[in-house]
Structures are given as structure tokens and as C-alpha cells.
Amino acid sequence: MGVMERLSTLIRANINDMLDGAEDPEIMLSQILRDMESEINKARSQVADMMAQERLFRDDLKAEQNKVGHMEERAEHYVRKGDDMMAKEALKRKSDSDANISVIQQQLDAQSEMVSRLRSQLDTLQDKYQQAMSNRDALLARYSRAKTQQHVTSTMRDLDVTDYSGELSRMERRIRTTEARSMADTELANEASEDFDSAFDDNERNSKVDSDLAALKAKLGMSGSGGGGSETRNIGSNQPG
């Protein structure tokens, strides 16, 4: 294969790939149906022409058959009149018509066979067109499913090629660290709250103890600041002088 031929083949292959990639099935199906309809109309016109030709052959055949019958009658007529020359002329014309009938019959048979074959092909084409019209939506649905499956398969293949396990593990560790930090912050906050409550309770208890002590001293007639000295003086004053 020469360089130019190889280059030509490569260019055609690339162009076909581009066209295949650019084809929209819905648009292409509509165009195919329009093309089929156009071809059907052309075929129907051609079949009509062939049928018209067949009719002409039938008319010609009938005319020649009528002519044969007429010449046979004329020959009998001239024989009865004793005019052999005219009788021979009539028989000659009858013979010519018989020959024409044979030719026309062959042409008619061939034409009838062609018409029958063309009509059968036309019927088949029309059936295919009707099937294509009926299956258009089904074909588009099949194409949509195929494209979806192709996309899913491609995505799965890409996922298989790219290993996301390391990234997922790293994200899991980060989430667990964040959760642990949050739990630690909550625990520290709770401890601080408990320490504050404990100090507050101690202050309340000390204040109550002080109040109870002051009340007791008051009951005993002792001052709050020097209760011990007063008690000593009272005891000394009761001794004899």
C-alpha cells in the first residue's frame, strides 16, 4: 500500500470516527425515516410506471388477438367468395398477428414478473418503514439505556484505576480526631463546671458554719471577737478577796 493510499485510508477512518461521535441517534433516526419515505415514494412511482407498461402490453396483446380473429373471419369470407388472393392476404396478416402475439406475450410475461417482484419489494419496504416508525421510541430508549450503562461502566473503570482507599482512610482519621477533640473539650468543660460548683458549695458551707458559731456564742452571752477573755474574767470575779 502506497503512502498516499495509506494516508487516504487514515483520513477516511478519522472522518468516520468523527461522524460517528457527532451523530445524534434521534436526529439520525428521523433522517433515516425521511429517507425511507422518500425511497418508498420513488419506488411506488417506478412500480406505477411498470404497471402502466404492463397494461399497455395487455392492451397490445388483446388488439393483436382481436386482429387474428378478424383476419380469420376475413379469410373465411374471401374463401366463400372464391377470392383466394384476398384470402391469402388475410391469412398472412393473421400469421403476422400470431407472431406479434407471441412476442407481446413474452414481453407481457416478463413485465408481469417484474411488476410482481417490484410490488413485493415495495410491500417489504413499506413494512420496514412501518416497523421503524413503531420502533423509533423503543430504539431511542435502548440507546439511552446503553449510554447510561456505558457511563456507569466508564465511571467504575475510572474508580478501579484511581485508588481512593488512602484518601478515605485519611478522611476517616481526621473525622475521628475531630470527634475525640470535641469529646475532650466537653469533658474539660464539665470538669471546670464541677470545680466551680464544688468551690461554691464550700463557700456556702463555711458561711453557714460561721453563722452557726455566731449564734452559739450569742446564746452563751459571749462576744464574737473576745469570747475567751470574758469567760476568764467572770470566773475570777467569783473568787473571795
pLDDT in tens, 25-83: 777 777 888 888 888 898 889 899 999 999 999 999 999 999 999 999 999 998 999 98
Whether residue 62 contacts residue 97, with contact meaning beta carbons closer than 8 Å, is answered with no
Are 142 and 172 members of one domain?
Answer: no
Judging by beta carbons within 10 Å of its beta carbon (0-12, 13-18, 19+), is residue 232 exposed, middle or buried?
exposed
Task: Give the residue, 153 or 40, on which the prediction is more confident.
Answer: 40
The count of structural domains within the chain is 2
Q: Domain span at residue 146?
A: 21-162
Would you say the pTM of this structure is higher than 0.75?
Answer: no
Are 118 and 37 members of one domain?
Answer: yes
Look at residue 62 and tell me if it is in a domain. yes
Are 156 and 207 members of one domain?
Answer: no
CA 85/CA 70 separation, integer angstroms: 17
Arithmetic mean of pLDDT over the chain:
77
For 106: left if phi > 0, alpha if psi spans -120 to 50, otherwise beta; the answer is: alpha
